[in-house]
Structure formats: structure tokens, C-alpha cells
Amino acid sequence: MKKFLLLYALAVTLSLAGVLRRYRTETHRLEQNQRALLSQVERYRTRAGEAAASAEVLQLRCREFERLRAGDAERIRQLGIRLRRVEAAATLATATEIDVQVPLHDTIVRRDFAAVCDSGRLAAAVRFDTVRSFRWRDPWVTVEGRIRGDSADCRVESVDTLRQVVHRVPRRFLFIRFGTKAVRQEIVSSNPHTRIVYAEYVRFAK
């Protein structure tokens, strides 16, 4: 009988310890999510001068993600992926801003058109026009176009590489680091004209 009571007490103790551990884990997750939702994206420059941003990571369960990020959940379904199989989902928005002054130069353009001959028949003819054009480029952005009369044709091409790192931020007491205070993501843009305006990383809690 005593042996049975001892096993029962041990089982109850282990169950309570498990419940307490899950409660602490869930409380920590909710606190971290609240802090992440209230925090803003931190923008800074790396040592190499590249534009970078830092934001805390959200940890959501599938039902929470469906409720809070319904649009993203629908896009994931459209990809043929079940939400319960998703490990993480990231959203990133950037803006490219550049002010340039480029010199104009004359460009000769060939134009083929049909002309009516004296006999009344159509014949191919060629005419050369001079238009004003411009072109500017660097390793990341190309801007080029032509000006004709009161209109302009312009093409802008921008290339960027975004690198993302997700890491743990440990708790600190004096000079001692332990546990996990938060999970953050760092995004670095290789294009100096790019400004990171929004970043969100959602990790699915199991």
C-alpha cells in the first residue's frame, strides 16, 4: 500500500512539474510575442556600410497564425502547403530610393514606315530621327531612357540580395549569459539604395 501511495505521489509530482514547465514556456512565449508586436523594426548599418534591420521573432501556433495572419495563411494554402507542415513564414518589404543627374545626348533612331509612291503603290521607306537619351548605372541600379517631344520612355532596373539570420538573444546577469531572452532576425541588404521598411518573421510553435 505504501509503495502504491509512493508511486502515486511521484506520478502526481511529475505531472505537476510537467504542467508547470508548459505553463512557464507558454507564458514566456506570450510575453515574447507581446514584446515583438509592440516593438519597431530597428534599422542600422553594418560595419561594411550595408543597410540592415533587426526585428523580434513571433512564435505562433497554427490557429493563432490563421487568425492573426489570415492573408498569409491563404497564400500558403494556395502554394499547396498545409499549415501544420510550415516551420516559419517571413515577410519583408523594401524601398529603393535614388537621386541621379544624368547628361542628355543625341541618339539616332532608324524608323521603317510605308510611303506612297507617285504610281500610287506602297513602298518601304526608312527615316532616321534624332532623340535625346540618357543612361546611368552602378553595380545595383540601371536607369536609362529616351526623350521624344513631350514624352519620355524610362527603364529602371534594381538588383538586390537580402541576407537573413535568425538568432537567440540570451539573458544577461552581470557578465553571465544564460537561457533565451528573445529570438531576433537580422536582415542585411547588399544594395546601398535599399531601405528596409518592414520585416516580420513568424516561427510556428509546436
pLDDT in tens, 76-118: 888 888 888 888 888 888 888 777 777 777 676 666 655 555 5
Q: How far apart are CA 146 and CA 155, in angstroms?
A: 9
What pLDDT is stored for residue 62 in this prediction?
A: 84
Q: What is the CA radius of gyration of the chain?
A: 30
Q: What is the pLDDT of residues 122-173, one digit of tens each?
A: 556 556 667 778 888 888 889 888 887 777 788 888 888 888 888 877 888 7
Average pLDDT, the chain: 77
- What is the pLDDT, as a whole number, of residue 184? 84
132: helix, strand or coil: strand
Q: Domain segments of the chain: what residues?
A: 1-38, 105-153
Cα 1 to chain center, whole Å? 63
Measuring CA to CA, which residue among 195, 104, 188, 183 is closest to residue 147? 104
What one-character DSSP code corresponds to residue 50? -
In sequence order, the β-bridge partners of residue 136 are 143
d(CA 162, CA 53): 11
Are 155 and 136 spatial neighbours (Cβ–Cβ below 8 Å)? Answer: no
Residue 17 has pLDDT above 70, yes or no: no
Which residue is associated with the grid cell 521607306? 125
The more confident residue out of 1 and 156 is 156
